[in-house]
Amino acid sequence: MVHNLPNEMAENGTDCELPQRRVGSKELQNGSFPDSASLSERKRRDREERLALVLWRKPILTLQYFFLETLITLKEWAWRLWQRRGTVFSLLLVFVSFSVAYSIEGTHQKYVEYLEKKFLWCAYWVGLGILSSVGLGTGLHTFLLYLGPHIASVTLAAYECGSVSFPEPPYPDQIICPDEQALEGSITLWTIMSKVRLEACMWGAGTAIGELPPYFMARAARLSGADPDDEDYEEFEEMLEQAETAQDIATRAKLGVQNMVQKVGFFWNSSLRLYS
């Protein structure tokens, strides 16, 4: 009995230590729980502060942040322009040369007028493409309103005239057929496409340019490491973290597609819009 007492005490000691260790683990878990709760509370409070920072609620503070951010952005742009002062000087020199050529009379004015007409025509379709991509909250799709009817009118005029040699753009209100005799079967799909390729390409380029602001905003938010408020985005980030260690083909394929979109997604989207 006496000899077994130390063994019993040792066994009881080990048994007594187990609840203490369990309590300690619970204390660690309970100790980490307030940290996560305080973190979520801080995120919620920061989110509420950002949502409350609007012009009609806090105009002075909002304008103050706006002017400070504007000054910082202008300073960064000025520094970048100074780093590329050679390119800036070359562009200014080209602009001054065009201004002088535009204002001085001479035989070169016919070329200046041709370039001006082409530039305004291209700018018109690029602007319509930007409006189609941005929409300004109206869902405006300028293909159905402008580019589609333009292609349809050129197609009808080409089959009616038997030629695409009518005046260059900007077209008048009524397309005038040329006086030359048209060959039968000379109008094909490629002939019509070659007639409207400039307008279509400029409109597509405008839609691609319209994608630049949201693309760079999303890219800046991702690179800044800001914590997004979107729960779906958080679930997507968790899925990506789990996919990095996954071995199945489906998950690795999803991760590969995400990496491809992250690298060339903007250019792929722009090319689709340009040729759609």
Report whether pLDDT(76) > 90. yes
**pLDDT value, residue 39:** 77
**pLDDT value, residue 51:** 77
Which range, 28-37, 54-63, 167-176, is most confident? Answer: 54-63
**pLDDT value, residue 35:** 64
Helix axes 189-210, 249-275, angle to 10 degrees: 110
**pLDDT value, residue 207:** 87
Beta-carbon count within 10 A of 218 CB: 12
18 — pLDDT class (breaks 50, 70, 90): very low
Question: pLDDT higher for 134 or 27?
Answer: 134
Lowest mean pLDDT among 50-64, 139-153, 174-188: 174-188
Report whether pLDDT(73) > 80. yes
**pLDDT value, residue 14:** 43
Q: What share of the chain is helix, strand, coil (3-state, %, to 5)?
A: 80, 0, 20
CB 158 within 8 A of CB 141: no
Summarize the confidence of residues 32-45 as an average pLDDT. 69
Report whether pLDDT(113) > 70. yes
**pLDDT value, residue 11:** 46
Cα separation, 238 vs 240, whole angstroms? 5
168 — pLDDT class (breaks 50, 70, 90): confident
Q: Is 208 exposed, middle or buried (0-12, 13-18, 19+ CB in 10 A)?
A: buried
Cα separation, 266 vs 75, whole angstroms? 27
Q: The pTM is what?
A: 0.61
**pLDDT value, residue 16:** 42
**pLDDT value, residue 10:** 44
**pLDDT value, residue 260:** 73
Q: Helices marked H in 135-244 — which ranges?
A: 142, 148-161, 189-210, 212-223, 231-243
**pLDDT value, residue 176:** 79
pLDDT tens, 212-262?
887 777 777 666 655 555 555 666 667 667 666 767 777 777 777 777 766
Q: Is 112 exposed, middle or buried (0-12, 13-18, 19+ CB in 10 A)?
A: middle
Cα separation, 132 vs 144, whole angstroms? 10
Arithmetic mean of pLDDT over the chain:
75
pLDDT tens, 4-14?
444 444 444 44
19 — pLDDT class (breaks 50, 70, 90): very low
Question: pLDDT higher for 105 or 270?
Answer: 105
**pLDDT value, residue 227:** 57
Summarize the confidence of residues 109-115 as an average pLDDT. 88
- In our burial notation (b when 16+ CB lie closer than 10 A, e otherwise), range 191-206 reads ebeebbeebbbbbbbb
